[in-house]
């Protein structure tokens, strides 16, 4: 029990979307979604094209996870933020390399490649994009 059924194929299947932040844009209403999909969650259009999402954005809201789900204890406490990317797409991700008291709504952040989860000490490591205050 816990993080149910750690799966290797599942991680493999999602790797490119998660490593490179792929999304989709609705040709009808303009909504940009992460991850990419076949139908627009705003208008129902199926006229969507896959796009690469910008690697910068700003924090819309954030929280600090102090009681994490099984599988994330090692990293707790950690910051989760709802981020609006430069093209308006929204993504939920961890903030890293930053202390909770340094985070503010509206702050600019940039994508960084990090570990998210390990499937136990002898299982695979799951990587993805987190965000941090820009280096420069």
Partner 1 sequence: MEKVFVLGGGVTKIGEHWSKSLRDLFVEAALKAAKNSNIELRDMEAVYVGNMSSGELQGQEHLGSLMATWLGIPGVAAVKVEAACASGGAVFHQAYLAVASGVYDCVLVGGVEKMTDAVVHDVTAALIMADDAEYTAFTGASFVGLNALVYRYYMEKYGVKQEDIALFSVHDHKYAANNPYAQYPFQVSLEKVLSSPLIADPIRLFECAPIGDGAAALILCSERFAKESGIKPEVEVAASALATDTISLVDRDDLTTLAATVKAAKKAYKKAGVEPRDIDVMEVHDAFTILGVIHLEDLGFAEKGKGWRLVKEGEIEKDSKIPTNLSGGLKARGHPVGATGVYQVYEIYQQLTGTAPNQVGKAEVGLAQSVGGVGGTVVVNILRRVR
Partner 2 sequence: MKPSKSTGILGYGVYIPVYRIKGEEIARVWGRSKAAIPIQEKSVPGLDEDSITFAVEASKNAIQRAGINPEEIEAVYVGSESPPYAVKPTATVVAEALGISPRLIAIDMEFACRAGTTAMQSIMGLVASSMIKYGLAIGTDTAQGRPRDELEYTAAAGAAAFIIAPHSSENIAYIEGSYSYVTDTTDFWRRDGEVYPRHAYRFTGEPAYFHHIYEAAVGLMEELGLKSSDFDYAVFHQPNVKFPVRIAKRLGFPMEKIKDGLLSNIIGNTYAASSMIGLAAVLDVAKPGERILMVSFGSGAGSDAFSIVVQDAIEEKRRLAPLVRDYIEKRKYIDYAVYARYRSKIKTR
Which residues of the shown chain bind partner 2 in the complex (CB under 8 A)?
A: 15-16, 19-20, 73-75, 94, 96-97, 99, 112-116, 125, 127, 130, 135-136
Question: Using the rule CB under 8 A, which residue among 22, 39, 51, 65 binds partner 1?
Answer: 65
Which partner in partner 1, Zn ion, partner 2, none is near 19 (CB below 5 to 8 A by kind)?
partner 2
Residues in the chain, overall count: 136
Question: Using the rule CB under 8 A, which residue among 57, 94, 107, 111 binds partner 1?
Answer: 94
- Minimal distance, residue 130 CB to partner 1, in Å: 9
Buried-exposed string 81-110: b where 16+ CB fall within 10 A, e elsewhere: bebebeeebebebbbbebeeeebeeebebe
Question: Using the rule CB under 8 A, which residue among 8, 27, 60, 108 binds partner 1?
Answer: 60
Tell me the two tokens of residue 66. Answer: 């102090």
φ, ψ of residue 21 in degrees (nearest 5): 55, 70
- Minimal distance, residue 65 CB to partner 1, in Å: 5
Residue ranges binding partner 1 (CB under 8 A): 1-4, 10, 14, 18, 33-35, 41-42, 60-73, 75, 78, 80-82, 90-94, 100, 105, 116-117, 126, 128
């Amino acid at each position: 029990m816990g993080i149910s059924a750690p799966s290797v194929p599942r991680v493999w299947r999602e790797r490119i979307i998660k490593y490179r932040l792929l999304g989709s844009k609705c040709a009808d209403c303009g909504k940009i979604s992460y991850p990419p999909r076949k139908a627009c969650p705003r208008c129902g259009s199926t006229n969507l094209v896959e796009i690469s999402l910008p690697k910068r954005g700003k924090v819309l809201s954030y929280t600090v996870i102090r009681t994490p789900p099984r599988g994330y204890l090692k990293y707790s406490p950690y910051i989760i933020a709802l981020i609006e990317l430069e093209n308006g797409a929204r993504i939920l991700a961890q903030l890293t390399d930053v202390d909770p008291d340094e985070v503010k709504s509206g702050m600019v952040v940039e994508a960084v490649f990090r570990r998210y989860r390990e499937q136990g000490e002898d299982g695979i490591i799951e990587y993805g994009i987190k965000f941090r205050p820009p280096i420069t």
